[in-house]
Chains A and B, each alone.
Chain A
Amino acid sequence: MRRVYLDHAATTPVHPQVAKVAVQYMTETFGNPSSIHCFGREARQAVEGARATVASLIGAQPEEIYFTSGGTEADNLAIQGVALAAADGRGHIITSQVEHHAVLHTCEFLEKRGFDVTYLPVDGHGMVDPDQVARAIRKDTVLITVMLANNEVGTIQPIADIARLAREKGVPVHTDAVQAAGNIPVDVNRLGVDLMSLSSHKIYGPKGTGALYVRRGTRISPTVHGGAHERGLRAGTENVPGILAMAKASELAQAEMPQRMAHVARLRDRFLKGLMEKVPDVRLNGHPTARLPNNASVSVLYVEGESVLLNLDLQGIAASSGSACTSGRLEPSHVLVAMGIPHDISQGSLRFSFGRGNTEEDVDYVLEVLPSVIARLRAMSPLGPGKKQAGPAGGRAGAARGRG
């Protein structure tokens, strides 16, 4: 059976050149960078080289890069680290309602510990308004954290504008760039941010490796305690193979970025055009232009996302959804809800995220399979154009939106 992977926003296959590097640093250059012997010194030198490579991807200085176990740890370190350093158990944090859970749940954790958090709304495209950010700033605001590109709908936030307004008031800005860095051009100075989370496995590197960029002079406390690794900010023996692999992935991403972006955008546009032509009642989620080039997030009316994904999976196609069933919660994705998309529509959300390995044949195969899957499920659905919500006794089946 043909297999088509369209879930690159979830994770990517490790690039063969990257895997080779990882193996080399597991088997040959395996030393502990903290050791003083030649094995250790080799590993240390390699890690510092990797730091410079990753820094170069985002226009940072090598000493501003701190390796972590991934994007989630980088988010936790940024938010908790800055909050702890700036305020002793109190203070105010500004974020948005469409952040990744690594950010949202960290903010909620701090909220329970005495911090105030403002969760800014977004518009129908999932975009944060920089003026609203500025208006939310208080005297005790210690951090603003807004993602660079949304993982579900691909919307790219106006981070440069937010950071400029924040800088006027002296508030540091963190951005989760896990979906953006390595996939689109990202420069910490052009954006003006103080902290930025990075991940390796979204850019053809291995899982379990990420980094936090911390602008020199930013006050931040460690959250993992132990040895003096990563200049005292993140204890624990460095994941040398992971770090070297992340650096290789970053190097390749930087070198191939224009081609990769053009490639995935062409496939994404071919897919969207074909889908809209073949299937009625499909809506694009997210911003029409300010979006990641590889992201096609759509809502298919009158069907539920998981049932579409299961059918696609039976035919070898991998994608994802923001429906309640797939989110493992009782509600559809918080991102789609924040964007004001009605529940019955967001239940039919599907995310197709393209990658460097995809081809036009992949797109055409999906365009062959998907319309018939949707047609079959729509034939089974009590919802549909004109008959939406019609209850047999004249009532409204979906009357209760419930739970606010």
Chain B
Amino acid sequence: MYSEKVMEHFTNPRNVGEIPDADGVGQVGNPVCGDIMRMYIKVRRGRIADIKFKTFGCGAAIATSSMVTELVKGKSVAEALEISNRTVAEALGGLPPHKMHCSNLAADALHRAIQDYLGKKKASGAEGRGARVGTRAGRPGRGGAAKQGRRWSGRRTGAQT
């Protein structure tokens, strides 16, 4: 049911873990559907210098989490924002149809982490290197600043229609 590539990432996931002093943290999913993905990013000179994930979920959830970390490591923030859930699924050689909507949220988690990073940066007034990409962040309606106490939506976003 899963491609070889999915199984390879599932059995040997890349970049598992947490970054204690992460510049941005993003989480998507909820226990109803069975997937929770959390991404930690470290940004240096506008590039994703380090990324780690923690995922509760099925094979597809773990494989997509792993794949997205591999895809964005070293990329600029702007490039990272271009990566969609579909890009991740394609890089894995496709996912079973019923997994496309429920377990393919890793890019959303990454985007949230980036938004968290950009929001913090804006809030602290640190207009520095790589700040120009900020305006391209996110999608309408949920790109807001990740203020302290922000409620992390448990609802699914992105791929779902």
Interface residues of chain A, those whose CB is within 8 Å of chain B, are 302-307, 310-311, 314, 323-326, 328, 330-332, 342-344, 347, 379-383, 391-403
Majority secondary structure of chain A interface residues (helix, strand, loop or mixed): loop
Q: Mark B97-136, 1 if CB is under 8 A from A, else 0.
A: 0110011000000000000100000000000000000000
A328 touching B30 in the complex, CB below 8 Å, given contacts A383-B56, A398-B154: no
Question: Does B3 interact with chain A (Cβ within 8 Å)?
Answer: no
Does A380 lie within 8 Å of B62, measured CB to CB? yes
A103 to B152 Cα, complex, angstroms? 39
A122 to chain B, nearest CB (A): 20
Contacts of A344 in B (CB 8 A): 31, 56
Does A398 lie within 8 Å of B30, measured CB to CB? yes
Question: Does B150 interact with chain A (Cβ within 8 Å)?
Answer: yes
A49 to B5 Cα, complex, angstroms? 54
Q: Which of B26, B153, B154 has the most CB of A within 10 A?
A: B154
B68 to chain A, nearest CB (A): 15
Contacts of B36 in A (CB 8 A): 382-383, 397-398
Does A307 lie within 8 Å of B58, measured CB to CB? yes
Given contacts A307-B57, A325-B60, A325-B102, 10 further A-B contacts (CB under 8 A): A303-B56, A306-B34, A306-B59, A310-B7, A323-B58, A324-B32, A343-B34, A393-B25, A394-B148, A395-B151
Q: Which residues of chain B (53-84) have a CB below 8 Å from chain A?
A: 54-62
How many inter-chain residue pairs (CB < 8 Å) link A and B?
Answer: 133
Does A382 lie within 8 Å of B27, measured CB to CB? yes
Does B56 lie within 8 Å of A391, measured CB to CB? no
Does A382 lie within 8 Å of B55, measured CB to CB? yes
Does A381 lie within 8 Å of B59, measured CB to CB? no
A403 to B154 Cα, complex, angstroms? 12
Does A381 lie within 8 Å of B30, measured CB to CB? no
Residue of B nearest to A381 (CB): B56
A382 touching B56 in the complex, CB below 8 Å, given contacts A392-B27, A398-B154, A399-B153: yes
Question: Which of B9-17, B42-50, B85-93 makes up part of the contact surface?
Answer: B9-17
Instruction: Jot down 21 A-B pairs with beta carbons below 8 A, ordered by A.
Output: A304-B35, A304-B56, A305-B58, A306-B58, A326-B58, A330-B32, A330-B102, A347-B34, A380-B54, A381-B56, A382-B38, A382-B56, A392-B25, A393-B147, A395-B152, A396-B152, A397-B154, A399-B154, A400-B32, A402-B30, A402-B154
Does A380 lie within 8 Å of B31, measured CB to CB? no
A325 to B102 Cα, complex, angstroms? 8
Interface residues on B, range: 35 or more
Residue of A nearest to B154 (CB): A400
Interface residues of chain B, those whose CB is within 8 Å of chain A, are 2, 7, 10-11, 13, 16, 22, 25-27, 29-38, 54-62, 98-99, 102-103, 116, 146-155
Does A325 lie within 8 Å of B34, measured CB to CB? yes
A78 to B43 Cα, complex, angstroms? 64
A399 to B62 Cα, complex, angstroms? 21
A326 to B61 Cα, complex, angstroms? 13
Residue of A nearest to B151 (CB): A395
A394 to B146 Cα, complex, angstroms? 11
Contacts of A311 in B (CB 8 A): 11
Does A314 lie within 8 Å of B154, measured CB to CB? no
Contacts of B22 in A (CB 8 A): 392
Does B62 lie within 8 Å of A307, measured CB to CB? yes
Contacts of A396 in B (CB 8 A): 151-152, 154
A381 to B149 Cα, complex, angstroms? 23
A391 to B37 Cα, complex, angstroms? 11
A310 touching B55 in the complex, CB below 8 Å, given contacts A396-B152, A399-B152: no
A311 to B11 Cα, complex, angstroms? 8
A382 to B37 Cα, complex, angstroms? 7
A397 to B2 Cα, complex, angstroms? 28
A216 to B55 Cα, complex, angstroms? 57
Does A402 lie within 8 Å of B32, measured CB to CB? yes
A391 to B38 Cα, complex, angstroms? 9
A194 to chain B, nearest CB (A): 38
Q: Which of B29, B62, B102, B149 has the most CB of A within 10 A?
A: B62
Does A400 lie within 8 Å of B153, measured CB to CB? yes
Q: Which of A383, A391, A397 has the most CB of B within 10 A?
A: A397
Contacts of B154 in A (CB 8 A): 396-402
A90 to B29 Cα, complex, angstroms? 43
A397 touching B29 in the complex, CB below 8 Å, given contacts A304-B61, A307-B59, A323-B58: yes
Contacts of B57 in A (CB 8 A): 304, 307, 325
A52 to B63 Cα, complex, angstroms? 54
Residue of A nearest to B120 (CB): A393
Contacts of A383 in B (CB 8 A): 36, 56
A304 to B103 Cα, complex, angstroms? 12
Contacts of B27 in A (CB 8 A): 382, 391-392, 397
A300 to B58 Cα, complex, angstroms? 14
